[in-house]
Amino acid sequence: MRTFDKSYSLLDRASKVVPGGIPGHQSPTLLVFGSSPCYVERAEGARFWDIDGNEYIDYMCAYGPMVLGYNHPKVEQAARAQGQMCDTGNLPTQRYVELAERLVGIVPIADWAIFGKNGSDVTTYACRVARAHTGRNKIIMAEGSYHGIGAWCTPFETGITPEERVNMLPFQYNDTEEFKRLLEANSQEIAGVILTPFRHEAFHDSEMPAPGFLETVRKTCDDIGAVFVVDDVRAGFRMHMGGSLESFGVKPDLICFSKALGNGHPISACVGKDGLKDAASQVFFTGSFFSAAVPMAAALATLDEMEAIGSVDLMYERGEMLKDGMLDQADEHGQEVNYSGPVTIPFMTFAGEDGWEKSKLFCKECYDRGVFFHPFHNWFISAAHTEEDIKKTLEATNAAFKRVKQEMG
Amino acid sequence: MRTFDKSYSLLDRASKVVPGGIPGHQSPTLLVFGSSPCYVERAEGARFWDIDGNEYIDYMCAYGPMVLGYNHPKVEQAARAQGQMCDTGNLPTQRYVELAERLVGIVPIADWAIFGKNGSDVTTYACRVARAHTGRNKIIMAEGSYHGIGAWCTPFETGITPEERVNMLPFQYNDTEEFKRLLEANSQEIAGVILTPFRHEAFHDSEMPAPGFLETVRKTCDDIGAVFVVDDVRAGFRMHMGGSLESFGVKPDLICFSKALGNGHPISACVGKDGLKDAASQVFFTGSFFSAAVPMAAALATLDEMEAIGSVDLMYERGEMLKDGMLDQADEHGQEVNYSGPVTIPFMTFAGEDGWEKSKLFCKECYDRGVFFHPFHNWFISAAHTEEDIKKTLEATNAAFKRVKQEMG
């Protein structure tokens, strides 16, 4: 039985000087409060250690960034070398151009790239480019989709004015008919559509795009001259190196990347087609650290290593192994589960649950056995997960399923 | 005569794959196009080298972040040590709590702190906290003030909808009477006021707060229960360690920091009074890299070093030396100039200019002599500027003034 005394004692200390103790998606109230750690001390490869010294095989990958594993030697070496030259400067470094060229080389739809820090920076920027390009204001998005903390999309509306969301038109992800109706009814006003490559918001099973859905979005956008934006912040480089929609053979106009791009270094990117470049250059997009060179050197090294080791295929293999193992175990322990999403970005819930009690117990039992899953948010496989890691993980999940059956049937 | 061949050749290459070549505030069209560098290769202390190998004593400090000088050994050592433990993780590290405690200890009005990446993140967050706290929507801001690229404030409106700005009420910075009228006319709707500690937007002489101006803002905010937000992103830690308004003896409710806080590492902070903490905890504020530990370790080391060496006093000394020297030279060469702003964040323009031709020529002549000023944007002194640097700088500025007189009278 692990203890989290240092975690919760530091959380108490934090609560005095930090609103909510730990703000945002890392809040312990969004994990298994009392039974999950609150602070990390160290991380390496596919593992991390919390401040109580508990070790975990990690399936959250810092909520996505760690695609090659924590503290990756080649990435960190490139970052350190660049840091000794220049990071944040008066002007960009050559890394900016090299990274743009690299993304243009890797991502089929990309003719250009621009860089920010946060996923929110680029999803918001992409909407502005769509507006600048079309001279229209309305943007279609899927209800509940997470695109960051922009006023137009943040999931919690406290502090947001109604006017900031009035140009967003929501529809149900995958509802092709509703999408077509919405688009046709507003065709003269629609600047664009922003979608994640599959439905992956928290507290919800993931949903892959329905057959024909993405193709309809592409075609109807073309029909009315609207811009098709893909928010690939979460899924990027875990489904396909060229943008996740390449998996489905559909070409968007703009793609937003972040998370995995720099293997933990803070960087985001918007890439797009040539036809959008003029509009893209007219939207003011800047920040003190947007052209910082260390995350760009890290991203170049991350892209190199992902290509060199074939990280997407590797993660699919490991992801299949985890999925097959867990589904067998669920069956064996009489648990009906929904295992959803691409296997590289999987999520598992217990079917027919009213609350999330089985999910919470399952995760708690995994924490106690040194495996870190999330009860409410999709997980992430990295290229650092070895077969041995998956085998050890499956020992923990087997015990966790067994306990869930014992306690909750 | 310096050449910038590599800079402009790389800019050509960039133009193919980056919208605008170099986006945002670093665009060469915002410097002296053709006569200023476009890319930096290396930076150290108060100096940087562009990719053509030209060396400069730097008075832009990466537009603010470099308060102790580039590549500061103590800051980088702290960053490296933290990087080997954990940077971006599933959870924050103890550094988050330590940095919040540290800011609470340094900044008199601060009872709490929360961290983001960009200045824009925290200025936008502060407006949301003001709205959450008051249940009102309107925010007063000074016309033309730069608070980042939020839709509510970005200086270039391409891609922005009118609705996103409808709750902003602009007035002229320092116009106390207009401010009072605006506030009284809308008192039931005003959530807060956001101001920079002095007026410092680009393409404009800086203006210190008029006597009584900040006091009036403080008092009238109190009268109607509105929140007084200071955007200290640019000026923070160059006027006072406790927030720039401490220089004037006025206490705001929320302060936004970024730039200098991490000496170049990407971090921003919003600090506030206890009475705002509930509202602050209700506004969703998150990002993949917001709790990354390396910039926090860097910020802790930066704060330590700033306190240890008395960086604010040191920068005021150097700043006075530069100002005195340049004003003497201007006088000697018959140039009437406006030398504005705090001496640690100075700006100089040529009085009565219709365009910016003298400013551009002056800067060009300085570039040719290895000194980097900006023709349109305020400058920054750092603690790395030595007396020797200022002396060398004054040799360059003397020659530049002389040339301005020769060429333009």
**A354 pLDDT more than 90:** no
- Judgement on whether residues B105 and B249 belong to the same structural domain of the protein: yes
Last residue of one domain, picked from the residues A270, A291, A309: A309
> Rounded distance, CA B399 to CA B394, Å?
9
Domain membership flag for residue B336: no
> CA torsion angle for B228, B230, B231, B232 (degrees, to 10)?
-170
Let me know the angle formed at the C-alpha of B239 by B237 and B241, rounded to the nearest 5 degrees.
Answer: 45
Query: Taking a contact as any Cβ pair under 8 Å apart, which residues of chain A between 301 and 360 contact chain B?
Result: none
* C-alpha to C-alpha distances, B392 to A338, A393, B318, B382, B398, nearest whole angstrom: 70, 63, 13, 16, 10
Question: Which residue's structure tokens are 């490869």?
Answer: A45
Radius of gyration of chain A (CA): 21
Taking only the tens place, the pLDDT of each residue in A251-288 is 999 999 999 999 999 999 999 999 999 999 999 999 99
A77 near B CB under 8 A: no
- Judgement on whether residues B128 and B198 belong to the same structural domain of the protein: yes
CA A118, A121, A127, A132 torsion-angle sign: negative
8 A C-beta contact, residue B82 and residue B297: yes
Report the CATH number at residue A84. Answer: 3.40.640.10
- Judgement on whether residues B119 and B156 belong to the same structural domain of the protein: yes
Which member of B41, B50, B88 has the closest CB to residue A65? B88
Residue A49's SS3 state is strand
- Judgement on whether residues A162 and A245 belong to the same structural domain of the protein: yes
Residue B235's SS3 state is coil
Domain membership flag for residue B387: no
A291 near B CB under 8 A: yes
Tokens of B69: 């000088």
Residue A273's SS3 state is coil
Residue A227's SS3 state is strand
> Regarding beta strands A337-340 and A254-257, do their DSSP bridges make them parallel or antiparallel, or are they unpaired?
unpaired
Tokens of B296: 């926090």
Let me know the angle formed at the C-alpha of B339 by B335 and B343, rounded to the nearest 5 degrees.
Answer: 145
One-letter amino acid for residue A198 of the chain: F
* C-alpha to C-alpha distances, A234 to A69, A118, A133, A231, B273, nearest whole angstrom: 16, 12, 25, 8, 35
One-letter amino acid for residue A125 of the chain: Y
Domain membership flag for residue B283: yes
- Judgement on whether residues B47 and B146 belong to the same structural domain of the protein: no
Last residue of one domain, picked from the residues A309, A324, A350: A309
Query: Taking a contact as any Cβ pair under 8 Å apart, which residues of chain B between 99 and 118 contact chain A?
Result: 100-101, 104, 111-114, 117-118
Q: What's the gap in Å between the CA of B212 and the closest CA on chain A?
A: 30
Report the CATH number at residue A353. Answer: 3.90.1150.10
Q: Residues of A with CB below 8 A from B156's CB? A: 282-284
CA A26, A30, A31, A36 torsion-angle sign: positive
> Rounded distance, CA A285 to CA A268, Å?
12
- Judgement on whether residues B96 and B53 belong to the same structural domain of the protein: no
pLDDT-above-70 percentage for chain A? 100
The count of structural domains within chain A is: 2
> Rounded distance, CA A265 to CA A67, Å?
11
Tokens of B52: 């053509």
**A182 pLDDT more than 90:** yes
A53 near B CB under 8 A: no
DSSP string, B65-101: T-SS-BT-HHHHHHHHHHHHH-SS-SS--HHHHHHHH
> Rounded distance, CA B65 to CA B236, Å?
10
Contacts of B396 by beta carbon, 8 Å cutoff, 6+ apart: B365, B366, B369, B370, B371
Q: What's the gap in Å between the CA of B37 and the closest CA on chain A?
A: 8
Q: What's the gap in Å between the CA of B229 and the closest CA on chain A?
A: 15
Report CB contact under 8 Å: A40, B258. Answer: no
Query: Is pTM, for the whole model, over 0.95?
Result: yes
Q: Binning pLDDT at 50, 70 and 90, where does residue A202 land?
A: very high
pLDDT score for B407: 96
Q: Residues of A with CB below 8 A from B132's CB? A: 158-159
What's A199's DSSP letter? B
pLDDT score for A109: 98
A73 near B CB under 8 A: no
**A1 pLDDT more than 80:** no
Q: In what order do the strands lie in the sheet with B47-50?
A: B40-44, B47-50, B55-58, B371-372
**Per-residue pLDDT for chain B (409 aa), expressed as one digit of tens each?**
799 999 999 999 999 999 999 999 999 999 999 999 999 999 999 999 999 999 999 999 999 999 999 999 999 999 999 999 999 999 999 999 999 999 999 999 999 999 999 999 999 999 999 999 999 999 999 999 999 999 999 999 999 999 999 999 999 999 999 999 999 999 899 999 999 999 999 999 999 999 999 999 999 999 999 999 999 999 999 999 999 999 999 999 999 999 999 999 999 999 999 999 999 999 999 999 999 999 999 999 999 999 999 999 999 999 999 999 999 999 999 999 999 999 999 999 999 998 999 999 999 999 999 999 999 999 999 999 999 999 999 999 999 999 999 999 9
**A364 pLDDT more than 80:** yes
> Rounded distance, CA B5 to CA A400, Å?
64
- Judgement on whether residues A151 and A220 belong to the same structural domain of the protein: yes
Report CB contact under 8 Å: A266, B264. Answer: no
Report CB contact under 8 Å: B70, A86. Answer: yes
- Judgement on whether residues A198 and A78 belong to the same structural domain of the protein: yes
Report CB contact under 8 Å: A96, B18. Answer: yes
Q: What's the gap in Å between the CA of A237 and the closest CA on chain B?
A: 16
Residue B144's SS3 state is coil
**Residue B190: enclosing H or E segment and its boundaries?**
strand B190-195
CB atoms within 10 A of CB A384: 24
pLDDT score for B1: 74
- Judgement on whether residues B37 and B134 belong to the same structural domain of the protein: no
Of A339, A242, A240, A267, give the one whose Cα is nearest residue A78. Answer: A267
- Judgement on whether residues B255 and B138 belong to the same structural domain of the protein: yes
> Rounded distance, CA B34 to CA B37, Å?
8
In terms of residues, how long is chain B? 409
Burial bucket for residue B320 (CB in 10 Å: 0-12, 13-18, 19+): middle
- Judgement on whether residues B78 and B8 belong to the same structural domain of the protein: no
Residue A216's SS3 state is helix
Query: Taking a contact as any Cβ pair under 8 Å apart, which residues of chain B between 184 and 223 contact chain A?
Result: none
- Judgement on whether residues A153 and A206 belong to the same structural domain of the protein: yes
Which member of A18, A113, A287 has the closest CB to residue B120? A287
Of A351, A357, A354, give the one whose Cα is nearest residue A336. Answer: A351
Report CB contact under 8 Å: B10, A164. Answer: no
Q: Residues of B with CB below 8 A from A375's CB? A: none
Last residue of one domain, picked from the residues B252, B287, B309: B309
Which member of B89, B96, B121 has the closest CB to residue A62? B89
Which member of A118, A155, A164 has the closest CB to residue B284? A155
DSSP string, A70-123: BT-HHHHHHHHHHHHH-SS-SS--HHHHHHHHHHHHHSTT-SEEEEESSHHHHH
CB atoms within 10 A of CB A239: 24
Domain membership flag for residue B342: no
Which residues span the domain enclosing A330? Answer: 5-70+310-408
Of A257, A252, A379, give the one whose Cα is nearest residue A306. Answer: A257
CA B331 to chain centre: 29
Minimum Cα–Cα distance from A43: chain B residue: B86
Report CB contact under 8 Å: A92, B124. Answer: no
